[in-house]
Structure 1
C-alpha cells in the first residue's frame, strides 16, 4: 500500500461496545481516563460448563481459570424488527452479527450519515471476526434449522450489515485471529484507494459463543493466574479473554471536507505481514514485527520520533510482550531532541483480550485520546517487565492520565495488532488538534502534511 498524501484516507465516524456496560464513546473514554477495571465474572446465562471450566486446574498440566473476563452485558440484546429481521432468524444469528450491525449503525450516525437513507450505494464493509462456536451444530434438527446457513456464516458479520443497510460495495470478513480488525481497516483503506468503493465501514466483532478459548489457554498455561491482564508488566502471568465490537467510517479527505464530516484522524499508513516459517505458528516474531513497523512508518511519511502514543498489542504473556517491546524499541526508540519518550499502553489492561476486535478497540482508544488531547493510563504499569531494558529505550508505559501536546497542531500515534495465526498489522495515524472553540487549529492536517 502506498499512501496518497494528496487525498489521504481519513476516519470520520466511530462507535464501540465494550465490557463493563460500555455502549457509547463517552462511556469508553471515561472508563479509560479513570483507569477502570471493566472485567467481570463469567456470564451465567449462556449455558457454559462453568463448573468443569473452573475445575480444569485439578487436572495435571492444566492452568487455573479464574471467574473473570471481559464480557459484554448487552450481547443478547437486539431489536430485530428495527433492522427488518424476524425474531426467529435473529435468534439463529451469531451475536457477532447482531451487535456488529447495531454498532455499525451508530458509527454512521456519529459520522453524520443517516443509516436508513443509503440506498444501494457502492459502500464497502470490511469486518474482522472469528468463529466462536455460537449455537447448535448444523447437523442438528431444531426450530432454527433453515436459518443456520446465514446465521452461523462468518462472512455474514459483514454481509448482514451490507444487506440491512443496502451497501453494494465489497463486503468482506477478515479472519487472521487477533490481527483481524486492523487488517480489515487496512483492506478498507485500500478498497477506497483502488476505487472499489467510494467509502467504507471497517471494524470487528468478538462475542464468545463458547468458553473454548479459556479451555485452550488453560491447557497451554497461558491464562492470567489472578484474572487480570497485565500488559508489559513484571508480574504478568498470561492473557485474559474479552469481548467487544468497534466500527469506524473511512473515506477520502476530499469527500470528508466537501460533506463537512468531522475528521478524527488521517490513516497515514498501514501494513500487514506474516511471521513466515521457523518458530511454531503461534510464536511471535520480533524481526517480522520490526519489518512491519518500519514499512508502516515509511509509508506514513512521518519520522518515528514524532509518534508520541503507541497502542500496543500487549497481551500480558511472558513470551509475546518482550518480543513486541524489542521490535517497538528498534523503530520508535530513537533519541528525541526534546528528551521525551513515546508512551506505550494496551487497552487489554482494562477489558481483556478481545481477540478479533482487539485492534479496533485499541484504535478507537487512540482516536478518543487525540480528540480529548489526553493519554489514558495503562493499568498495572507501575512495575514494567525487566525482560527488556527500558533505560534510554525511548519508550515508557503510560502509567497516569496526562495531557498530550500536539506537534504543529497534529498528534501522531501508532496501533499494533498481532494474531496467533502469525499475521501482524500496524497503523500510523495523525489526529488534528482542536482549539478552545472546538475547531481544528490553524496548523491543520492539510498544512502539516502539505
Structure 2
C-alpha cells in the first residue's frame, strides 16, 4: 500500500441481456438471470453452417447460445465526429470502447470535452475477433480498414477523439487483458505518466471463430450454459461486453471532489512459464500471484470477503484455479465467497476481468455477494469441507471488516499471463 493509492472514481458497463448501465448490470446479477441468447442474425454470419459444421468428426457440438451485446451495432458516429463510411469500417470494439469511455467519464462527473490536452492515459484490454474483410480485398471501405481494424487504434481512437495527451495502450494478454490494462494504468499513475487514466476491457466478436476453435478443442459447454466451479461443468460459452474505469490518485480525487467507488489496494500480473502445454494454466503461478497481491494490499486472506474468480467452466481451468484458491484464500477460517459472472453472461474474453471488477464494486456497495448460477453440485476437484472457500450459490450478505469490504478479482489468459486485483470499498459506500 501507499499513502496516496489509486482509486476508481467512475465506471461504465455494457453486457449481454440489455445491460447498458451499472444499474442494469446489478439488476441482472441480483435477479440471478442468465443473459445468453441465440447467435445474432444481423452480423452476416453463416449460423446454419456454423452449427452444422460442428457436427463433423473431431469437433464438439456448438449450441445456438452465447452472451451477445444487444447494442453492438448501435453507434452514433456524428456525435464523435466520425463519418458513417469510416464508422462502418471500424471494428465494433472501437465503437463500444469509445462509448464506454465517454460514459465512464460522465459517471465520474467529468465532462469529456474538458479533457482536451489533458495528461490522461487510456489503457484498453482487447484482441482481434475477426471483424472486416481482408485488407487485400478491394472494397468501398478500403483506406479506412487499417485504422478500423488495427488493435492499437482501439486506445488510440479514444485518445484522439477526446484529445488526450497521456499514454494510449491497447493490451492483448488474451482473457486477462482487461485486468492487465488496469494494472498498467495503476503503474502509469504511480510513475507520473498521467494524472488520470481510463482503463478496462472490451470484447465484441467480429466472427464466430472462437466457437469453432473451441469446438475443435472440445472446450465448449455440452449444453450451451456456463457452469463455473460446478461438478457438471463441461466447457465455456463465449460472450461479449465492455467495462471501463476512471482512475486517479486518491489525493487528486479528493481535491476535485470526486466520489470514490473503490481503492485499488493491489494489482499484480505474472506468467505461467513453461507448463504441460502452451495454453495450460499453472497452479503454482496462480498461488504466487494471489500471495503477492495479498502481501501488496497489506491485508490477510481473512479480510477478503469476496473473490470473483476467472471461472470459465472448463474442467482444466476450473480445476487449476480451485486448487490455487484453496491453497491461498481457502486457508482462512471463514473464507471468502467465490463466484464467476460467466454463469450469467458467458466468457467475455478480453473484457472478462473488467466485468468481474465491476461486479465486485457493485456487490460491495450493496453489501451482497451475487449468486453464481448453475452450481447444483460444487466441483469435486477440491475438498470444500477442509477449506474456508464457499461458492455463493444464492444472494449472500457481505459483512464489512474494520469498516470496509475487500474483494479480489482474477483473470487468466491462454497467453499464460495471470492477473489479480484486490479492491477495497468503504462501508460508508453501502447503498
Match of 2:412 in 1: 418
Aligned to 1:136: 133
Output the aligned Cα RMSD: 1.0
C-alpha deviation, 1:205, in angstroms: 0.7
Whether the 8 Å CA contact 2:226–2:236 is kept in 1: the answer is yes
**Structure 2 match to 1:40:** 37
What is the match of residue 201 of structure 1? Answer: 198
- Rounded to whole Å, the distance in 2 between the matches of 1:228 and 1:153 is 32
Q: How many Å apart are 1:266 and its aligned residue? A: 0.7
1:278 positional shift: 3.1
Please list, as runs of the form range in 1=range in 2, the aligned pairs for 1:198-237 lying within 5 A after superposition: 198-237=195-234
The count of aligned residue pairs is: 431
Shift of 1:387: 1.6
Counterpart CA distance in 2 for 1:387 and 1:193 is: 40
1:344 and 2:338 correspond: yes
Q: Distance in 1 between matches of 2:323 and 2:80?
A: 47
Aligned to 1:360: 354
After superposing the two structures, state which structure 1 stretch, 380-389 or 221-230, moved more. 380-389
Deviations 1:43-63 (A, max 9, x none): 001111211211134211110
CA contact (8 A) 1:381 1:398 kept: no
Aligned partner (choices 296, 299, 302) of residue 299 of structure 2: 302
SS of the equivalent of 1:319 reads helix
The residue number in structure 1 matching 2:363 is 369
1:417-440, Cα deviation, whole Å (9 max, x unpaired): 00011110001111111278x6xx
Please name the residue that 2:279 is paired with.
282
386, 392, 409: which is aligned to 2:403?
Answer: 409
TM-score by length of structure 2 reads 0.99
User: Within 5 A, what are the aligned runs for 1:240-319?
Assistant: 240-319=237-316
- Aligned residue in 1 for 2:322: 325
Deviations 1:108-167 (A, max 9, x none): 011111112212111000000000110111001111101111101101111111011111
Structure 1: tracts of 5 or more residues without a match: 439-450
Give the structure 1 partner of residue 428 of structure 2: 434
Instruction: Please name the residue that 2:392 is paired with.
Output: 398
SS across alignment from 2:192: coil
State whether residues 106 and 112 of structure 2, in contact with CA within 8 Å, keep that contact through their aligned partners in structure 1.
yes
Q: Give SS of 1:321's match.
A: helix
Taking structure 1 as the reference length, the TM-score comes to 0.94
Counterpart secondary structure, 2:328 = helix
Partner secondary structure for residue 61 of structure 1: coil
Of residues 6, 11, 17 in structure 1, which corresponds to 2:8? 11
Q: Deviations over 1:322-376 (max 9, x none)?
A: 110110111111242xxx3310000000000000000100000001011111111
Task: From the superposition, tell whether residues 46 and 435 of structure 1 become closer, same or farther in structure 2 (CA, over 3 Å).
Answer: closer
Does 1:50 find its partner at 2:47? Answer: yes
Spell out, residue by residue over 1:359-397, the C-alpha distance to the aligned partner (whole angstroms, 9 max, x if none). 100000001011111111000123101121111211010
Aligned residue for 2:428, secondary structure, equals coil
Which contiguous aligned blocks of 4+ residues in structure 1 show a shift greater than 4 angstroms?
none
- The equivalent residue for 2:114 is 117
SS class of match (2:202): strand
Any conservation in 2 of the 1:56–1:63 contact (CA below 8 Å)?
no
Q: Distance in 2 between matches of 1:220 and 1:77?
A: 33
- Distance across 2 between alignment mates of 1:145 and 1:435: 50
Matching residue within 168, 179, 183 for 2:180: 183
Unaligned stretches of 5+ in structure 2? none
Partners of 1:57 and 1:79 lie apart in 2 by 36
Structure 2 equivalent of residue 74 of structure 1: 71
Cα offset for 1:414? 0.4
Q: Distance in 2 between matches of 1:284 and 1:394?
A: 23
**Do the aligned residues in 2 keep the contact of 1:56 with 1:218 (CA within 8 Å)?**
no
1-side partners of 2:187 and 2:425: how far apart? 20
Aligned to 1:63, the other structure's residue is in SS state coil
Residues in 1 aligned to 2:116 and 2:156: alpha-carbon distance in whole angstroms: 16
Report the 3-state secondary structure (helix = DSSP H, G, I; strand = E; otherwise coil) of the residue aligned with 1:55: helix
How far apart, CA to CA, are the structure 1 residues paired with 2:121 and 2:387? 40
Distance 1:257 1:333 in 2: 36
Where do residues 96-115 of structure 1 align in structure 2 (5 Å cutoff)?
Answer: 96-115=93-112
